[in-house]
Chains A and B, each alone.
Chain A
């Protein structure tokens, strides 16, 4: 039986099409943030913006408390809202592989894709970068398209010390990601939005994936950090 596809852009169950996905096993994540650093190094990601990041929440009751990590990145959705939102076609989905990528030379910087992304995966590149002259356009995680097409795994997967991040082709029944997704309970972020993400989590519960109460009653120190961030990243 063919898989249900709501939108013509979706490639689930389409024969002959690769569908790259990442499984993040949260039981193995130690919050070392090596993935974040590897990504920064791979792409010259400027200060203050991130293609991947590792937020945490402290849960439990003292003295039995622990940090719960939730590595984040672009979900390379099967039905990406950012692609629909872009007025000039600067954001597009690679049909064979499912990468959601950006034509930097075409991006006008209207930020419609940033507004459309339910995962905050997109950001505006600041005016100044150390080694790269692509600035003042929207950027995002590419699932390391340049590495994957050379037979490598993304930089964050390569560097993950706990082997928490696993990458592969979901359309290949012999791949590790296929095995994990089909045999273990997995979660995706904000499934109700109908984006069909290609980043699957093992062991994510609502404590990590929902808006926290701190949203409304943010600690003062967080607000001070936020104000400093806004001062330095005026988009």
Chain B
């Protein structure tokens, strides 16, 4: 061996991938609950998707706190005197706080049967929820030296992944309602189509980048990480469900369920491999 260096650790472990997954679903489920005030077919999901959204929000917050090496200092992220607006993590802590507050207010409005207020909170909460996948995308894209992360695609890709995962989970809550499943299928079809285009763009751009991009591309398309990214993320989790949803079988409840399972597996695999790939390369620098 002709090289010696010290070993550097991966800064962000897989906990962040689980967080991205959970918070993406939480945001999309809130959006679906809010949509029920404006689209009749979503009405049966109003409470169930909201409750699950809230549970996942709490789980996501706990995941973030558990990953801190000083967990009790999470309170510092809520201190306005410490906020650093150049950091997307600061935007995230503010958005999580606002999303929690909007969820509680929305719950109280629903309990009081105050439809006018609930509608307004559904819109406001959905806009805040949209900010969650956007900020997680910026969390990665602001790192100028990381191939894959440092692309304008990240926030958009995370919004699409959030919609896919949320709609997939909602399809299990739909209890076979035909009209509702048709609408959820449309969301999954459009969002996974957009994801496929973005992944292709990401792969081509990374393969044709500089030396770090080239090595990241090699890591993400071969070996174990390649199996996760290309195998589970791109093929099993994006291309196959897209094909399933596009054919007549994909219009039946069983087809939509199958696509939902595959999209959830793919959503997790993509988030994990996109988080880890550029970090593994960098540990050798």
Contact = CB atoms under 8 A, between A and B. Distances in A.
B219 interface: yes
Interface string A171-215: 000000000000000000010111000000000000000111011
Contact of B4 (A56, A59, A110): A56
Nearest to A124: B69
Contacts of B77: 87-88, 108
Interface stretch (B80-88, B152-160, B167-175, B256-264): B80-88
Interface in B56-84: 67-70, 73-74, 76-77, 79, 82-84
Contact of A108 (B5, B76, B146, B212): B76
A78 to B, nearest CB: 14
Contacts of A115: 11-12, 143, 146, 279
Interface in B220-246: none
Contacts of B68: 108-110
B1 interface: yes
B70 A86 contact: no
A4 B215 CA distance: 33
Interface string B1-40: 1111111110111000000000000000000000000000
A221 B1 contact: yes
Contacts of B219: 216
Interface string B122-142: 000000000000000000001
B114 to A, nearest CB: 36
Most A-side CB within 10 Å, residue of B9, B68, B79, B92: B9
Contacts of A124: 9, 69
A193 B144 contact: yes
B47 interface: no
B43 interface: no
A116 B212 contact: no
Nearest to A114: B11
Most A-side CB within 10 Å, residue of B7, B74, B211: B7
Contacts, number: 138
Contacts of A108: 68-70, 73-74, 76-77
Contacts of B145: 81, 118, 190, 193
Contacts of B283: 120
Contacts of B86: 83-85
Nearest to A217: B218
A98 B97 CA distance: 35
Interface string A38-61: 000000000000100101111100
B284 interface: yes
B281 interface: yes
A111 interface: yes
A55 B9 contact: no
15 contacts: A81-B144, A84-B84, A85-B89, A86-B87, A87-B82, A87-B93, A108-B69, A112-B87, A114-B9, A124-B9, A211-B215, A212-B3, A216-B215, A229-B7, A230-B7
